[in-house]
Amino acid sequence: MFLQGENILKQYPHNGGFINALDKVSFNVDQGDFVTVTGPSGSGKSTLLLSLFGLIRLSSGTIIFNGKRIDNISDRHLTDIRKKSVGYILQSFALIPYLTTIQNVMIPLALERIPQKEQVKRATEILDYVGLSDRIEHLPRELSAGQQQRVAIARSIVHRPQIIMADEPTGNLDPTLSLEILEFLKKINRENKITIMMVTHSPVAADYGTMKLHLNEGKIVN
């Protein structure tokens, strides 16, 4: 099993007691799946996404990635897994405003201490792949919203991750641009066999999932 959650529980203190943001959630994801995570606001979607690789620590439960348990390992080891195996795409794009397109894309490679020449080569190749080879030296403010999200996608895959965690990646885009980004994510999923786990409010985006999880009040429901 590629990614497995067993009885995942995340509690937060509330009015002298606790509230369950995730309430004994269990799931199995195969490598190459395109997983969509839906549910009303406050249902635990983003908490699930952030908890799987340790950006939020669980209260209890088990997470297994590539056959190894990872919920109980150190922050340093979790950071190593995220740097090598996980890409993140956010609704806000999260580009550094004073860095150029190629500099933003090179960030994951710099964190892995890959030589500068190789960083430039791989970032240039991936920007060509996402159709932004003519925007390499542009700053984020010089790009459209759709172009900024494609830069964010390029950054998420430049280090050749095994899985992409996408939190509302079309939330700031109009319907036409949303479809463009969704089609591109599907292309990445199919051509590169990269597993995608995408939180979304959009029924259109949810239909892209080959596996669908629906959360309500911290529980997976049908």
> For the chain, how big is the Rg over CA atoms in Å?
17
Averaged confidence pLDDT in the chain: 92
**Nearest Cα to Cα of residue 23 among 65, 59, 63:** 59
Architecture of domain 3-221: 3-Layer(aba) Sandwich (3.40)
User: What is this structure's pTM?
Assistant: 0.91
CA angle 103, 90, 203 (to 5 degrees): 140
If we measure between CA atoms, which residue out of 145, 88, 100 comes closest to residue 124?
Answer: 100
In contact, 34 and 210? CB cutoff 8 Å: yes
Residues of the chain short of pLDDT 70, as ranges, are: none
Summarised one tens digit per residue, pLDDT across range 130-159 is: 999 999 999 999 999 889 989 999 999 999
Instruction: Please report, for the chain, the start and end positions of each structural domain, with discontinuous segments joined by +.
Output: 3-221
List pLDDT tens digits, range 206-218.
999 999 999 999 9
